[in-house]
A and B are shown apart, each in its own frame.
Chain A
């Protein structure tokens, strides 16, 4: 099984951990959210929208959308396409229609024109303010999703593409900003294309470090609480957990060279960088 496929099994719970703080299993989500208020300083990635668990829909966007879900997604795909074509310097309507995957692209474009998102003077498609804003958001979501999938889970190209495509539709703006901060406000997607800046990026200068990062990024002497572990192998995960390294454990980074040396409670462990990179912590 390629690594990507295997890890996708871990994708949702790890993200649930990240979005909601702590999830034991799918069914206790509600309980967790209730408990969290009583907990002191939990895994504070608490930008949870307070909606239903992530699924194939969207998480409370607050917009009123014309049409049904799938039409909405189709519009978003088109916006994406328009943007990427524009990046390549192509804005010809015919070219766009050819490149579009949706069968009713022409119809959708007409509707978007009607809604004031785009204008099509003389066979060339251009964004209007509303369209530009929406497209920028879609692109940002898509490319951040790609970054997330490739950075954290190291999915290979094909898996990443298809996952990112579905994934981007379920990220709400607030969650998106968290992802951006988490990844350190990446300027480009894995293919090198620019990621439009968001409100969080503007604050970048004050908010220096991402909240949750690989243990290997800590400085020597710093202490972190393990938020999640994304191991390449199941046996590694179980081995680490047998030694006491699980989400919630407090870890101190004692050394980076010649090997990483960690202190967990009274146990001192030497590990190689490859393993340490997969342990994500929040500095305490």
Chain B
């Protein structure tokens, strides 16, 4: 992981509560942007970058947000492990100025770990708005470390950071624990490896019953020593009824409160009542709903009209239609006279004419606009509020409101959304959301095409489609929620204030996500096209079509030609929808058939890219199990709908 050049470079870790702006500062220090969200857990992988700020080359490590260094979740564990294992690490602790109390809790623990700290009080503007004033020089004196107020998003105060980054001082503040705690701490410290830094912090973690340290312990100490440590912990716990971790937290909070008394002052809240009221309205049980609908509608308009309409038109007809494709076709025909190769590149299933065109001309504009709208949702602080509004609904399917993040993202790209299931705390939730994404959430490219179809059909069709798809998801979600073993996580979510987002930041994020998309998803599109090409060449496509025909014709009541769309639908979800679109346009599908086919294709297995991502995240076995369920289920619902519509003699 470290190159030999890196080893001599100083390493700095950015540590802090979730939602405080660590990733923004990381971006400023390194020029790189990490895909970030106002959600705890979205910095799921540790990112490193090189920084030249402050005159020296350093390695900066961005860590997941934590509330406590005794880890409660995977993220917190990652951060704790980094701090534990890297001995010569300086910490820039980023703290939300208005939530200084929670930030200082972490500072305290860093002090116990004997790490040098530079404390950044970010979002200083929000604190000021609330009438909060913090005596930074005073705090700096009390702690013995640099304390810098900043407004990172507007680059305010960051020069100060550059200047103070070299001061390496360990915070001078320590909580006072009761004598019996001190005794136990001292005993454990004696057992721990001599050269280990931050023994006190470790002792406290062990007393708190930190299970995640087990492996490290067994690797660093002989068994009898580990045993002894456990005994010390148990003995102390017996003398107290409440969990030791809880008592330790209480003590720390007391120390922090004493510290705050001298430096933190809150006067009149200067925020306009309008701003406050709006924030409250967004989660209001009654008023929140129209706001929710409005937000979703605006998103749909933006992505649908602007992205799918203007964007796709431009890319497809102008850029590719008039530019790239004809040129490429001529070039290929000229340079490579061998027909199969020509077909491979520019034929009907050609890599350029189909694969690349699709990825860049059709999917990219839609996905790009979606990511922009999503970034807007995140940066404004609306996303957690969306989670609050949806929590009740999600509980029906054994999820909690946090699942909103991947589910909404799935409307952009299911593949990316599947990756984002990592923010969910329990495995059960991750499996459930992955399943629902694959089952029923259409990605933006697919929606783009389907919207075109719906505009040509009576509204009844759209309603039926929507109802059946959502209904299926709820039913499947409900049953799966009961069947999949595991606990569900508590719904405890921090709600940040509503903010006016900065355009630059949103663009930055959108570009980062588009970059991810190009690197990860597009190759899979090309791969899918390759498969299609191969199948067609080998005549397999025809064979599969013949096999599938009976089901499609008899069961689903569709013309034989629709089979092709379904097959393509697996490899390229949106392409399948496009094939149906063409058939509707030409009158080969009547409205009833159109509805049935759309429902089926929406519920159908996800596209290849998504499927591969599921394999990557959940493993081959689970992925196959999901496919084995979804495929027949989609057909059943389609067939059932077909029968029902005919039986009820529904007319369009």
Q: Which A residues are within 8 Å of any B CB, using their own CB?
A: 9-14, 24-26, 28, 234-244, 246-247, 254-255, 257-259, 261, 265-272, 274-275
Cβ contact within 8 Å between B101 and A272:
no
Q: Which of B245, B283, B387, B395 contacts A238 (CB 8 A)?
A: B245
Known: A266-B99, A266-B132. A272 touches B391 (CB 8 A): yes
Which residues does chain A contribute within 8 Å of B495, judged by CB atoms?
A: 261, 268-270
A147 to B68, CA, bound (A): 36
Specify which chain B residues have a CB less than 8 angstroms from the CB of A257 in the assembled complex: 285
Interface residue from B242, B246, B247, B494 paired with A267 (Cβ < 8 Å): B494
Which residues of B sit under 8 angstroms from A270, Cβ to Cβ?
A: 283, 384, 387-388, 391, 401, 491-495
Q: Which 8 residue pairs spanning A and B have beta carbons closest together?
A: A13-B241, A242-B68, A257-B285, A242-B67, A266-B98, A241-B249, A272-B491, A268-B495
A164 to B96, CA, bound (A): 47
Q: With the chains together, A241 CA to B391 CA distance in Å?
A: 23
Answer whether A275 and B494 are a contact pair too, CB < 8 Å, given A13-B241, A25-B239, A259-B388: no
- Chain A residues lying within 8 Å of B401, measured Cβ to Cβ, are 259, 270
Q: Which chain B residues lie closer than 8 Å to A9 at the CB level?
A: 241
Which A-chain residue is minimally distant from B288 (CB atoms)? A258
Q: Which residues of A contact B288 (CB under 8 A)?
A: 258
Binary contact readout B431-469 vs A (1 if CB under 8 angstroms, 0 otherwise): 000000000000000000000000000000000000000
Task: A267 to B495: give the CA distance in the assembly, Å.
Answer: 8
CB distance from B287 to the nearest CB of A (A): 11
Residue of B with least CB distance to A239: B72
Q: CB of B188 within 8 A of chain A?
A: no
Give Cα A12 to B250, complex, Å. 18
Considering only residues 475-530 of chain B, those with a C-beta below 8 Å from chain A are: 490-497
Q: Are B388 and A243 in contact (CB under 8 A)?
A: no
Give the Cβ gap from B41 to chain A, nearest Cβ, in Å: 13
Q: Are A261 and B72 in contact (CB under 8 A)?
A: no
Q: Which A residues touch B241, using CB under 8 A? A: 9-14
Could you tell me if B283 and A269 are in contact, using CB atoms closer than 8 angstroms? no
Partner of B392, one of A25, A255, A259: A259
B388 close to A236 (CB less than 8 A): no
Q: List 8 contacting pairs A-B, 8 Å CB cutoff, sorted by A.
A: A24-B247, A25-B180, A25-B247, A241-B250, A242-B72, A255-B284, A259-B491, A269-B492
* Distance to closest chain B CB from A239 (angstroms): 5
Query: In the complex, which of the residues B101, B400, B491 contacts A244, with contact meaning CB atoms closer than 8 Å?
Result: B101
> For window 383-414 of chain B, which residues contact chain A by CB distance below 8 Å?
384, 387-389, 391-392, 395, 400-401
A244 partner residues in chain B, CB cutoff 8 A: 101-102, 253
Q: Which residues of A contact B55 (CB under 8 A)?
A: none
Residue of B whose beta carbon sits closest to that of A275: B490
| B70 neighbours in A (Cβ, 8 Å) | 238
A10–B392 Cα gap in the complex (Å)?
A: 31
| B residues less than 8 Å from A267 (CB atoms) | 99, 102, 494
Q: Which residue of B lies closest to A273 (CB)?
A: B491
A114 to B149: give the CA distance in the assembly, Å: 81
Q: Is B105 engaged at the interface, CB distance under 8 Å to the other chain?
A: yes
Minimal beta-carbon separation of A256 from chain B (angstroms)? 8
Q: Which interface residue of B132, B239, B389, B493 has the most chain A CB atoms within 10 A? A: B493
Chain B nearest CB from A35 CB (Å) reads: 14
Query: With a CB–CB cut-off of 8 A, which chain B residues contact A11?
Result: 241
Per the bound structure, the CA–CA distance linking A104 and B446 in Å amounts to 83
- Which of these, A235, A246, A261, A266, contacts B388 with CB under 8 Å? A261
Nearest chain A residue, comparing its CB with the CB of B67: A242
Tell me the chain B residues, 372-391 only, with Cβ under 8 Å from chain A. 384, 387-389, 391
Question: At the interface, yes or no: B272 with Cβ under 8 Å from chain A?
Answer: no
A24→B253 CA distance, assembly (Å): 14
Q: Does the CB pair B283–A265 fall under 8 Å? A: no
A234 surroundings in chain B (CB, below 8 A): 243, 245-246
Quote the shortest CB–CB distance from A238 to chain B (angstroms): 5
B174 interfacial contact with A, CB 8 Å: no
Query: For residue A255, which residues in chain B have a CB less than 8 angstroms away from its CB?
Result: 280, 283-285
B240 at the interface (CB under 8 A from A): yes
| A238-B72, A242-B67, A270-B384 given; A259·B102 CB < 8 A | no
Which residue in chain B gives the minimum CB-CB distance to A254?
B280
B618 at the interface (CB under 8 A from A): no
> How far apart are the CA atoms of A244 and B99 in the complex, in Å?
10
Q: Does B178 sit at the interface, judged by CB under 8 A?
A: yes
- The smallest beta-carbon distance between A7 and chain B, in angstroms, is 11
Whether the pair A26, B239 counts as a contact (CB closer than 8 A) is: yes
Given contacts A244-B102, A266-B99, contact A237 B243 (CB under 8 A): yes
Instruction: Assess whether A24 is in contact with B178, with CB atoms less than 8 Å apart.
Output: yes
B128 at the binding interface (Cβ < 8 Å): no
B164 within 8 A of A: no
B561 in contact (CB, < 8 A): no
A269 x B178 contact (CB < 8 A): no
In the complex, chain B residues whose CB is within 8 Å of the CB of A261: 283, 388, 495
On whether the beta carbons of B391 and A259 are closer than 8 Å, the reply is yes
Does B130 belong to the interface (CB within 8 Å)?
yes
List chain B residues, Cβ under 8 A from A275.
Answer: 490-492
Contacts of B392 in A (CB 8 A): 258-259
The answer to whether B391 and A242 have CB atoms under 8 Å apart is: no
> Is there an interface contact between B99 and A238, defined as CB atoms closer than 8 Å?
no
Which residues from B are CB-within-8-Å of A259?
283, 388, 391-392, 401, 491
Contact A258 B388 (CB under 8 A): yes
Within the assembled complex, what's the spacing in Å between the Cα atoms of A258 and B389? Answer: 6
B492 with A241: CB separation less than 8 A: no
Q: How far is the CB of B381 from chain A (nearest CB, A)?
A: 10
A269, B388: Cα distance in complex, Å: 10
What distance in Å separates the Cβ of A16 from its nearest Cβ neighbour in chain B?
8
A66 to B491, CA, bound (A): 56
Q: Which of B189-248 contact A (CB under 8 A)?
A: 208, 239-243, 245-247
| Chain B: minimal CB distance from A229 (Å) | 9
- B residues in contact with A247, CB < 8 Å: 250
Please, which residue of chain B has its CB at the minimum distance from the CB of A232? B490
New contact pairs (7) apart from A242-B67, A272-B395, CB-CB < 8 Å: A12-B241, A25-B247, A242-B72, A259-B283, A266-B98, A266-B132, A270-B492
Q: Which residues of A contact B105 (CB under 8 A)?
A: 242
Q: Which one of B67, B387, B490 has the highest number of Cβ atoms from chain A below 10 Å of its Cβ? A: B490
Q: What's the Cα separation between A241 and B243 when bound, in Å?
A: 11
